[in-house]
Amino acid sequence: MKILVVGGGGREHALVWKIAQSSLVETIYCAPGNPGIAELAELVPLGVEDVDGLCAFALEKQIDLTVVGPELPLTLGIADRFKAAGLAIFGPSQAAAQIEGSKGFSKDLMAKYGIPTAAYARFTDRDQAVAYVREQGAPIVIKADGLAAGKGVILAQTLEEAVQAIDEILVDGVFGEAGESLVIEEYLYGEEASFFAFTDGKNILPLASAQDHKQIFDGDKGPNTGGMGAYSPAPVVTDVLYQRIVDEVAQPTIDGMAAEGCPYCGILFIGLMIDGDRIKVLEYNARFGDPEAQPLLSRMKSDLVPVLLDCARGELTTKALEWYDRAAVCVVLAAKGYPGSYPKGDVIEGIDGANALDGVQVFHAGTAARDGRIVTNGGRVLGVTGWGDSVAAAIDKAYEGVSKISWDGMQLRRDIGQKALKRLG
């Protein structure tokens, strides 16, 4: 088989790494890819937003399956374009990708189909939004409706912060078109978890549990990022809760999307808040999580490719996935200044040394090759993933890998996985 992976971040490196392990696969292409992916796949100089160019390439190379990593091409309709050209593609249609592309759409879906979530209201008018938050009080959550690279959610602790967030989104336009409308939600308390399920539009195949770390600093302090680390399994998701998430959230969501006339095929990412035995959906994403894909795919024993093909064909036959009996932890290494502005072009040392460790895999996210060296080229630069017999062992292995790597201004969290250790006692 010839497979094309669309994207160039840590998630896509993890996907290519896992796909390359399949005996079914002969050639992997990745557009645009990165230097880490280049060791496993042939890079194609096409941007993720170049839907026509990607389709033309897939037709020319007679690609058997295209796997879409990021959300942008999905919301641009890449799946529709490829299917119209007779090409197999893993990822939801443009209509189904609204589940991530519009927070208002997803909240309305949850309300209509009885899927547990925070109380909310939608606004396009600044004064009405401000009046609502003054009525509700703080803390409160302000969300830009559209795609904002994981940064469009503001957890306002005071009314002043809430009003400032409303002004930034609706008046100042800091998120552009994504902020032409917003969703205001009740503030939920508890512990977050990430839940993923493959689906062909009817059936679902859930993955192991995982947990992300959104804030930039230890102790969940500072602004939101695209994710500073993740681990799997997540002890907060007990066996009982896992089954409830399948029955009360994942399957009703897929059933609801089908009933709305936009069946969802691909992988559904459900962000959850768990408080004791209460589960509520924070958001949906229309693709694998980044960095959750790194530890999840490190633990997956099953061949990924047949599952991707089944979903693309609308005929999911696999009843359960096999997993290695180990934990995995990914620590993200970010550029100085991230999630704000950051420099590019700093030389990275030590990647080979980290990869040489048993039980460690470094996934490239925002890197570039220059004069024979690997340099920083994004906010989140690398994801160092370690695995071991326990969460504690996986944490130690990941940070052992981290200790080998350095560049000027490198920043990271030192507490990835600590919530799991507290729960495990």
Task: Fold for 327-424, please state it.
Answer: Glycinamide Ribonucleotide Synthetase; Chain A, domain 4 (3.90.600)
Give the C-alpha separation, 223 to 197, whole Å: 28
Q: Which residue has the tokens 């897929």?
A: 254
Q: What is the mean pLDDT of residues 201-228?
A: 94
For the chain, what percent of residues have pLDDT higher than 90?
A: 92
pLDDT at 84: 98
pTM assigned to the model: 0.94
Q: What is the mean pLDDT of residues 85-92?
A: 98
Q: Which of 40, 42, 21 is nearest to 31 (CA)?
A: 42
Written as six digits, the tokens of 257 are 């999307």
pLDDT digits (tens, 9 = 90+) for 275-287: 999 999 999 999 9
pLDDT at 149: 67
Give the C-alpha separation, 311 to 79, whole Å: 12
pLDDT at 146 over 90: no
pLDDT band for position 229 (cuts 50, 70, 90): very high
pLDDT digits (tens, 9 = 90+) for 378-411: 999 999 999 999 999 999 999 999 999 999 999 9
Average pLDDT, the chain: 96
Three-class secondary structure of residue 18 per DSSP? helix
Written as six digits, the tokens of 223 are 């602004």
Q: Which residue has the tokens 């102790």?
A: 219
Q: What is the mean pLDDT of residues 16-29?
A: 98
Q: Please say whether the beta carbons of 8 and 30 come within 8 A.
A: yes
How many angstroms separate the Cα of 292 from the Cα of each of 1, 12, 17? 26, 12, 14
pLDDT digits (tens, 9 = 90+) for 194-203: 999 999 999 9
Give the C-alpha separation, 152 to 182, whole Å: 10
pLDDT digits (tens, 9 = 90+) for 310-345: 999 999 988 899 999 999 999 999 999 999 999 999
- Range(s) for CATH 3.40.50.20 in the chain? 2-91
Looking from the CA of 378 toward its CB, the CA atoms found within 13 Å total 21
Cβ-based burial of 243 (10 A; exposed 0-12, middle 13-18, buried ≥19)? exposed
Three-class secondary structure of residue 282 per DSSP? strand
pLDDT at 425: 79
Three-class secondary structure of residue 263 per DSSP? coil
Task: Fold for 2-91, please state it.
Answer: Rossmann fold (3.40.50)
- Range(s) for CATH 3.30.1490.20 in the chain? 125-180
Looking from the CA of 210 toward its CB, the CA atoms found within 13 Å total 33
Q: Which of 424, 82, 5, 62 is nearest to 236 (CA)?
A: 424
pLDDT at 151 over 80: no
Cα-Cα-Cα-Cα torsion 9, 12, 18, 22, nearest 10 degrees, comes to -140
Enter the DSSP assignment of 414.
S
pLDDT at 174: 85
Q: Which residue has the higher pLDDT, 66 or 174?
A: 66
Q: What is the CA radius of gyration of the chain?
A: 20
Q: Please say whether the beta carbons of 248 and 110 come within 8 A.
A: no
Cα-Cα-Cα-Cα torsion 59, 63, 69, 70, nearest 10 degrees, comes to 0
Q: What is the mean pLDDT of residues 138-167?
A: 89
Give the C-alpha separation, 43 to 32, whole Å: 6
pLDDT at 297 over 80: yes
Give the C-alpha separation, 48 to 53, whole Å: 9
Backbone angles phi, psi at 293, to 5 degrees: -60, -35
Q: Which of 371, 305, 376, 294 is nearest to 334 (CA)?
A: 376
pLDDT at 247 over 70: yes
pLDDT at 153: 87
| Cis preceding-peptide flag for 139 (omega within 30 of 0) | yes
pLDDT band for position 147 (cuts 50, 70, 90): confident
Q: Span 191-313: which CATH code?
A: 3.30.470.20
- Range(s) for CATH 3.30.470.20 in the chain? 191-313
Residue 111: other Cβ atoms inside 10 A: 12
pLDDT at 150 over 80: no
pLDDT at 298 over 70: yes
Task: Fold for 125-180, please state it.
Answer: Dna Ligase; domain 1 (3.30.1490)
- Range(s) for CATH 3.90.600.10 in the chain? 327-424
Give the C-alpha separation, 37 to 29, whole Å: 9
Residue 125: other Cβ atoms inside 10 A: 12
